[in-house]
Chain A
Amino acid sequence: MWLGLWLAVLGLAVGIVIGLNIPLVLPQAYAKYLSVAALAALDSVFGGIRAAMEEHFDNTIFISGFFSNALLAAGLAFIGERLGIDLYLAAVVAFGVRLFQNLAIIRRHLLKK
């Protein structure tokens, strides 16, 4: 369990270092999509942590959920942009709510111990 946490922190650090060292800046037009995708990814990670605490963590669900959520959120934002609706707000609200739910559950698990 603790090894997993440390690995997660290490992965995060590696990602940050790579991101900071790539001289690539996304066009501003994509910033909105990326932000929603990042939110979805964050939600997936917290979902994974929660699943691990409830002891029914499934690797496949975790990985597929992570990428599909991120892509879906970005796609939703994109489609919303084309249709003239701020559809990314739906993704922000949905993932935001789930994020807080997951956080609450994780907190309870931690406090119960």
Chain B
Amino acid sequence: MSKSKSMTRSIYFSITLVAAVLGLLMVFQFRTTSSIDRGIPYDRVQELAMEKKQVERDIAQLQEEAADLSAKLNEAGKGYNEAAGALESELAKVRLYAGLTPVQGPGVEVVLENLPGPAGTGLYTIRDDDLLKVLNDLRGAGAEALAVNDQRIIATSEVRMAGNHINVNLTKLSPPYRIKAIGNQAALKSSLEIKGGIAEYLSDLGIKVTVQTNENIFIPAYSGTVDYEFARPAVK
């Protein structure tokens, strides 16, 4: 070798240094790798961290969606309440028309009375057709609600003779018969008291007829139950 002594010495020094650094590096790497083997792999950690981030993003998104949906649900609930209210008012109206709610208003009260005397011995006893004629005339004059002795007349009500009594809504009624009607007072009254009308006709038969207008007539609801066994809504 032709190199100077100091030169060779520095070469030896650098070789030693490099070897030492290399050994250090390799040992470090060895230890890190073996510690990785013992612990959780770094890739796995990264993967899980990314997954976690993704899941957090998903959570945020889903929370937003949940808020949105609950708002929509609230709105739908409001709509539902409105619909329920509409249905309820419709139901109340229908019940009113059907005679299932008590009503009050201006109208007339007609009292039909047999002339005094022991039962059955009077000149004339009020029959079901007399009552029906009165009800019919009142209906014709636009009565909106009718009742005989507080028995509400509805679509299925019958008025028929049963012995000495008259049955209305399967309830026995006995004289005097009080017929209440709500409607235009003048029209109702005049429909009965018109010349040659029902009041005159019944008076001629010996029945005491009184027609009174009243500003506030109370008519109770139909007390039975309405149950249609055979009739069904027609299908088009």
Chain A residues engaging chain B, CB cutoff 8 angstroms: 1, 3-4, 7-16, 18-20, 25-26, 28-31, 34-35, 37-38, 41-42, 44-45, 48, 57, 59, 62-63, 66, 70
Contacts and interface: CB of A to CB of B under 8 A. Distances in A.
A3 B22 CA distance: 18
B27 A20 contact: yes
Contacts of A14: 16, 19-20, 23
B29 A4 contact: no
Given A4-B11, A28-B32, A44 B18 contact: yes
Contacts of B32: 25-26, 28, 30-31, 34
A15 B23 contact: yes
B29 A38 contact: yes
A13 B33 contact: no
Contacts of B14: 59, 62-63
Q: Is the interface of A mostly helix, strand, loop or mixed?
A: helix
Contacts of B31: 19-20, 25
B24 interface: yes
B10 A59 contact: yes
A1 B39 CA distance: 44
Interface string B202-223: 0000000000000000000000
B18 A48 contact: yes
A66 B18 CA distance: 8
A30 B42 CA distance: 10
A45 B19 contact: yes
Contact of A8 (B15, B24, B35): B15
Contact of B22 (A4, A12, A20, A26): A12
- 7 closest Cβ pairs, A-B complex: A15-B23, A19-B27, A11-B19, A15-B20, A11-B16, A28-B42, A15-B24
